[in-house]
Amino acid sequence: MILEGKRLLVTGVVNRRSIAFAIAERAQAEGAEVLLTSFGRMMRMTERAAKRLDPVPDVLELDVNDDAHLAALRSELESRWGKLDGAVHAIAFAPADALGGDFLATPRESAATAFETSAFSYKALAEAVAPLMSDGGGIVGLDFDATVAWPSYDWMGVSKAALESVNRYLARDLGPQGVRVNLVAAGPIGTAAASGISGFSELVKVWDEGAPLGWEVEDAAPVADAALFLLSDLSRAITGEIVHVDGGVHAIGAATPS
């Protein structure tokens, strides 16, 4: 029960296949009280997924690109709980023309949307919730290794590189108040978001051939467990870190012949 008594906000639950769903489910099993967020047309899907959790958490409305929503979120959390122990940023989006392999043809507006929603939103969420972490806490974001260029990932890859930089600056600025800020760089998981990437099967092939520990594309549990560790007091001296939960692919230059 490494999260016993903790109060956590989890964004990004779309359905049961979401990494954020696995985090919320396992956080509850470890003793945490959880609230979810969603907005717009996804709200109903998130509420349906929430019914699979025990106890069923409330779903708060949050468009992370809307300052009014962020202010209302802080107010609601303060009213409900008074303080917050942790938050999960599992939010990313890039327009279709910012993905798929035609990197040079992406218009400025689409690249800006990918950055704002996938990277700047990490700062925006942290700014909203950190004042509620009066006893310290942990903020965890979901990442995908941005040290190399991946097939079809394009401006989402650029946005993830920005996310990694934002993580470092948040760690610098929030550390003095006891707030830890870390990322989990996951291998490819078969989520709803992944299905929208035209080259997703190519990424999976990299992991099938190159993960020293092997990789199960339908199993988000290892990623969730790492997030739980970073949200818990066991990670009390860790901030600004990127924890790779990818079967070891990030460490290997080429697949080892079998």
> Is 189 in contact with 204 (CB distance < 8 Å)?
no
Give the DSSP letter string of 175-218.
Answer: GGGTEEEEEEEE-----HHHHT-TTHHHHHHHHHHH-TT---TT
6, 83, 153, 205: which is the annotated catalytic residue? Answer: 153
Q: Which helix (H) or strand (E) holds 19?
A: helix 19-29
> Is 38 in contact with 47 (CB distance < 8 Å)?
yes
Estimate the share of the chain in helix, then strand, then coil, as percent rounded to the nearest 5: 45, 15, 40
Instruction: Give CA 184 to chain center in angstroms.
Output: 8
6, 51, 123, 160: which is the annotated catalytic residue? Answer: 160
153 is a catalytic site residue: yes
Contacts of 212 (CB under 8 A, 6+ apart): 247, 248, 249, 251, 252, 256
* Terminal Cα-to-Cα distance of the chain (whole angstroms): 40
Token pair 């051939």: residue:
209
169 is a catalytic site residue: no
For residue 55, whether the previous peptide bond is cis, meaning omega lies within 30 degrees of 0, is yes
- Name the residues annotated as catalytic: 153, 160
